[in-house]
Structure 1
Amino acid sequence: MEILNYNKNTLRRQLLQQRAALSMELWRSHSDLLCHHLSTCPEFISARTILAYQSCRQEPNLDYLFTHTNKQWGLPRCVGKNLVWHCWQPSEPMLIGAYGILEPSPELPPIEPDNVDLMLVPAVAIDRSGYRLGYGGGYYDRLRADPLWRKMLTIGIVFDFAYVETLPIEAWDLPIDNVCTELGVTKSTFIYAAE
């Protein structure tokens, strides 16, 4: 899919419609392939503490990684206009947050940026330069604008149809370091794809 002359709202609507149109079978198989590729890339393998997300609106589902890898996971809560991160493991219950997204309990221990090795970033789309189109709330933009979080290694998570040539960008947009789709993990010109 080539993106050139569309505004962000139009793109967001089109890509969310395309993602929503995926059959449940295709969504699950693409999510499983994505998790497989992610679990074999060096950045993931070497990370001990990883920030992730709970899938909503047919985002790639990361449940396989939560239950089949030995990592300390961090999940976000939306607090006002910010994301607050908490330690979480699959055995711990989730709560429904303000946007209908599952969130960790606020009673779970918080995670500070110095203790994190990798952030898995959800997106509506990501382009070849690493720029991300989110949902429009600015949560990840504000988080990554903070110098304490900006230095963190990131992998953007999208299905391949949403890994596009170019996106419209704003002055505050920061590129993602790597992108993972059901076809593999791309970092600059290097591709880590499991055999």
Structure 2
Amino acid sequence: MMSKSEFRNKAIADRERQSSEEVELKSQKIFEKLTSLDCIRKARSIMTYIDFRNEVQTRQLIDYCLSNDKNVVIPISVFKGRQLIPSLLKDPDSELQISKYGLLEPKPEYVRVFDKEKLDVIIVPGVAFDKYGYRVGYGAGFYDRFLSSIDNGAVVSVGVAFELQLHDSVPHDAFDATVDMVVTEDRIIKICNKG
């Protein structure tokens, strides 16, 4: 079996081979599946990443949430300590800038720290997922730490991925957090009874 880093590198290469048209079309299908979920429709506060490097696109979900009076919360990556700080986003067109790590994050004056215990849904990116809810991320453990730190048992974590990122099994460790469901352009896989 491949090591986690070999698996990660192959999965990133597979994802990067998709054309921008494929990414856009598949992301649209994923968005439609997401907005069919009760947990999304009923949520007051949804945390989502902002896509980067051929990830599943999230702008449509952000716009949907804002137009339906939902709180949109985005992660700020703090590399010292490898933590995610949730921040409320009100206007994606004016409040964001590219961080030194190449990620879109709030400008300092628009950082509004949001209580992670008040999140209803967390949209989780990943390089690869499996049908048991395990994921392979970029290797820094930000989401594993964040998901494990939430005490609110009602929050639903939703991994979003292209079908080519979904595997029967991915390499994982005991401390890796799982997601409650995985949504691809072709299907919704519920790992537990949440959502």
User: Does TM, normalized by the shorter one, top 0.5?
Assistant: yes
Aligned to 2:32: 36
Structure 1 vs Structure 2 CA RMSD: 1.9
Secondary structure of the structure 2 residue equivalent to 1:145: helix
Are the equivalent residues in 2 in contact too, given 1:77–1:97 (CA < 8 A)?
no
Aligned to 2:168: 165
Aligned to 1:77: 76
Equivalent position amino acid for 2:183 in 1? C
Q: 2:182 aligns with which of 179, 185, 189?
A: 179
Change (3 A) 1:57 1:97: same
Are the equivalent residues in 2 in contact too, given 1:132–1:175 (CA < 8 A)?
yes
Aligned to 2:58: 62
Are the equivalent residues in 2 in contact too, given 1:78–1:98 (CA < 8 A)?
no
Name whichever of 43-52 and 102-111 sits farther off: 102-111
Scaled by the length of structure 1, the TM-score of the pair is: 0.89
| Number of equivalences | 187
Are the equivalent residues in 2 in contact too, given 1:113–1:148 (CA < 8 A)?
no
Secondary structure of the structure 2 residue equivalent to 1:140: helix
Quote the Cα distance in structure 1 between the aligned partners of 2:94 and 2:86. 15
Are the equivalent residues in 2 in contact too, given 1:144–1:150 (CA < 8 A)?
no
Name whichever of 17-26 and 106-115 sits farther off: 106-115
Structure 1 gap segments, 5+ residues each: none
Are the equivalent residues in 2 in contact too, given 1:20–1:57 (CA < 8 A)?
yes
Equivalent position amino acid for 1:162 in 2? Q
Summarize deviations over 1:71-119 as a string: whole Å, max 9, x none: 2100111122211111003344212123201012343321112221010
Structure 2 gap segments, 5+ residues each: none
Are the equivalent residues in 1 in contact too, given 2:4–2:171 (CA < 8 A)?
yes
Summarize deviations over 1:119-168 as a string: whole Å, max 9, x none: 00000011010001000011111112224367631000110111110011
User: Deviating runs (4+, > 4 A) in structure 1?
Assistant: none
Quote the Cα distance in structure 1 between the aligned partners of 2:134 and 2:38. 22
